[in-house]
Amino acid sequence: MKKTILIALAALLTGGAAFAQEEKPAHFKLYGFIRNYMVADSRAVNAGTEDLYFYMPKDVNMTDGFDANDGFNWRFVSLTTRLGLDVSGYKWGSMGVSGKVEADFYYLSGSTPTLRLRQAFMKLNWDNSPVSLTIGQAWHPMAADMPHMNNLETGAPFNPFNRSPQLTADISLGSGITLTASMLYLNHYLPTGPAGKSKDYYKYGLPEFYLGVSYRSAKFLGRVGVDMVNIRPYRTITDWRVQDGGGKTIQVKSLLTTFSPFLFAQYTNGLFQLRAKTILAQAGEHMNLLSGYGVHSFNDDGTITYTPMQDWASFVSFSYGKKFQVMAMLGYMKQLGTTKDLADNRLWLNTSADTKIQQAFRATPTVAWNLGKFTVSLEYNLTAAEFGTGDFDSRGLQRLPAPGASAAAPHWVLNHRFICMTKFNF
């Protein structure tokens, strides 16, 4: 009996040791930076986050013979100082788990900066498996590859800018090829619509989906993908309910489905790196692009057919150097009009900038000194936007005045922005 008990205890202890070996503890790394921006503009601008997140210059506003939006303005703030925690090394059997929690200071309301969540996600992978999963709030797959610059908007609206809760699967197919599939939920960056910006259009719709393929070699990285968004625009929840011909109330859920393809390429050779991206966006305002959508038709069955605004946005950028670094970006965007004619000019566009902007370009040369963990950079941002005049045409573009007409022609407005940034990483 005694021998039997000893054997059972030994088996229990051995099994317990084997069980304990299945779990490996995680490692934690705190990181972040203290960042200051001193910014000056030559005219009034549409921007967020204490005017650090720059969209576009404001249009000419003639008052008593002078442009009220023309004039020097500046600000000096320490917003966007960041704190983060990386978690790595945890394993349970063959499954590895890593993660990130990241926050920075932001004006959520009023003029007092508060800490807000930027990213919070986990990554799962398995031994001898080509699949890894990302679960949580992270960069949108189309926004992750950004142009070379030190400003806060990192290229928007010439580059998609979006972080969203998501379930993303990366599947390695070998030879440097990876297939990426994502299901996303719009959260911080919202679509516009009849009731303004709201996540309700999306909450009562269907998930956003992304599908893409990337190829990576020693010096080259390329991506191609398409983003599909499904939203149900409405002014109030009762807009879904209409009376049919027999006097019966029926529920109608009109859906807008959009497709936005993109291409990205990156070449690296030593201290030199070149990047380029182009996107043909449909209703891409949730990615901080100057886009939107409108109504094509009101149908007899109570449904509404929507039509998205198409926008072409592109950039090319480069970086060279390490301690002394030179960077530059060129960006261009153009409104291409809605895919179908509008009904009664019913159109909702991104209100972060003037809705009459037809096209724009941006150039941002930058020099930076990286002294260990301390960086100071100087950047010049030249942004020019073409503003249309008059009413929107049937495709949501500004009508050009006929020869001899009294209407003013479209005009360009330039803004000169100067940025000095200091950053201490820890």
**Stretch 212-234: mean pLDDT:** 95
Closest to 58 in 3D by CA, of 362, 354, 416, 388: 354
Tokens representing 338 are: 């809605």
Residue 128 belongs to a domain? yes
Is the distance from CB of 250 to CB of 242 less than 8 angstroms?
Answer: yes
Residues 6+ apart with CB under 8 A from 326: 319, 320, 365, 366, 367
Residue 263 belongs to a domain? yes
Position 401 scores a pLDDT of 58
Residue 190 belongs to a domain? yes
Q: Which helix (H) or strand (E) holds 340?
A: none
**Stretch 48-64: mean pLDDT:** 92
Q: How many domains does the chain have?
A: 1
Position 28 scores a pLDDT of 96
Q: Which helix (H) or strand (E) holds 300?
A: none
Quickly list DSSP for 109-162.
Answer: STTS-EEEEEEEEEEEEETT-SEEEEEEEEE-TTTSS--S--STTTTTTSS---
The overall average pLDDT reported for the chain is 88
Is the distance from CB of 273 to CB of 266 less than 8 angstroms?
Answer: yes
Give 25: exposed, middle or buried? Use CB within 10 Å, 0-12, 13-18, 19+: exposed
Closest to 94 in 3D by CA, of 144, 24, 42: 24
Instruction: Identify any residues that bridge with 56 across adjacent strands, giving them in sequence order.
Output: 46
Residue 16 belongs to a domain? no
Residue 3 belongs to a domain? no
Instruction: Identify any residues that bridge with 26 across adjacent strands, giving them in sequence order.
Output: none
CATH number at residue 271: 2.40.160.10
**Stretch 133-146: mean pLDDT:** 97
Look at residue 11 and tell me whether its pLDDT is greater than 70.
no
Is the distance from CB of 346 to CB of 193 less than 8 angstroms?
Answer: no
Look at residue 290 and tell me whether its pLDDT is greater than 60.
yes
Residue 112 belongs to a domain? yes
DSSP state of 94: T
Quickly list DSSP for 66-89.
Answer: EETTEEEEEEEE-TT-EEEEEEEE
Nearest-Å Rg of the Cα atoms of the chain is: 26
Look at residue 425 and tell me whether its pLDDT is greater than 90.
yes
Provide the pLDDT confidence category of residue 114 given band limits of 50, 70 and 90.
Answer: confident
Residue 290 belongs to a domain? yes
Provide the pLDDT confidence category of residue 317 given band limits of 50, 70 and 90.
Answer: very high
Look at residue 10 and tell me whether its pLDDT is greater than 60.
no
For residue 4, how many other CB atoms are within 10 A of its CB? 8
Residue 81 belongs to a domain? yes
Could you tell me the residue range of the domain that residue 158 belongs to?
26-425
Question: Residues 350-382: pLDDT tens digits?
Answer: 989 999 999 999 999 999 999 999 999 999 999
